[in-house]
Structure 1
């Protein structure tokens, strides 16, 4: 746990995002245990209930599961679920506005592909 908390979004969402990022980049693998709510609370100096809210969000999404008396673990298939979620998020956040602006500027799909292939060079 090396990241810091910021004011850009609710803390519980940042906790969930950090766990998700670690799963996506392979730092935490399927079947491995994630830090406890108390570990998150101590590290980030936050309320354990806030950390629990972030972890429970991932439990609801079937990314994490609880082993009673042991802790939270990464579920099988979690990485694929997260990748699909992030791909949808990417599409909505970047591709949809890009296509709307391209339409406004009367750019064809081929012109957009060419721009991407050229890396934005004029």
Structure 2
């Protein structure tokens, strides 16, 4: 985990994003225990309450579950939930903006599809 202490983004959100990313990339598999708030706070010199606030965001989202006396664990289905969330965000953040800009440029749907294909082909040769 890496935190940007100079960022305008609050640390608790950075904690939530870092753990979510680790779950998405299977660094923390479903059913696995994640590091405790104490471990994270000591390792990264962050207030334990800040770490807990970030983790609680993930509990509310259904990505983590608290097991009393044991700690926090990755919820069953968390990877799928995160993928679904990110696909929705991708649509809202990128596709809608792409379509809006394409309409301003009077690009057809087919022209956009061809550009996307060209982008995939260029990425494959990297």
Normalising by structure 1, we get a TM-score of 0.91
Number of equivalenced pairs: 120
* Aligned position for 1:63: 63
Q: Pick the structure with more helix per residue.
A: 2
Deviations, residues 1-31 of structure 1 (Å, cap 9, x unaligned): 4x23340511111111111111111111000
- The runs of 5 or more residues in structure 2 that have no matched partner are none
Q: Is the 1:14–1:54 Cα contact (8 Å) retained in structure 2?
A: yes
**How far, CA to CA, are the matches of 1:4 and 1:37 in structure 2?**
15
Residues 113 and 29 of structure 1, relative CA distance in 2, 3 Å threshold:
same
Q: Please report how far the alpha carbon of residue 62 of structure 1 lies from its aligned counterpart in structure 2 after TM superposition.
A: 1.2
Q: Is the 1:67–1:73 Cα contact (8 Å) retained in structure 2?
A: yes
**How far, CA to CA, are the matches of 1:20 and 1:119 in structure 2?**
28
* Aligned position for 2:16: 16
* Aligned position for 2:3: 4
Q: Is the 1:31–1:76 Cα contact (8 Å) retained in structure 2?
A: yes
RMSD across aligned positions (CA): 1.5
**How far, CA to CA, are the matches of 2:8 and 2:99 in structure 1?**
26
**How far, CA to CA, are the matches of 1:89 and 1:119 in structure 2?**
20
* Aligned position for 1:26: 26
**How far, CA to CA, are the matches of 2:62 and 2:117 in structure 1?**
37
* Aligned position for 1:88: 88
Runs of 4+ off more than 2 Å: none
**How far, CA to CA, are the matches of 1:119 and 1:79 in structure 2?**
27
* Aligned position for 1:101: 101
Normalising by structure 2, we get a TM-score of 0.89
**How far, CA to CA, are the matches of 1:38 and 1:109 in structure 2?**
51
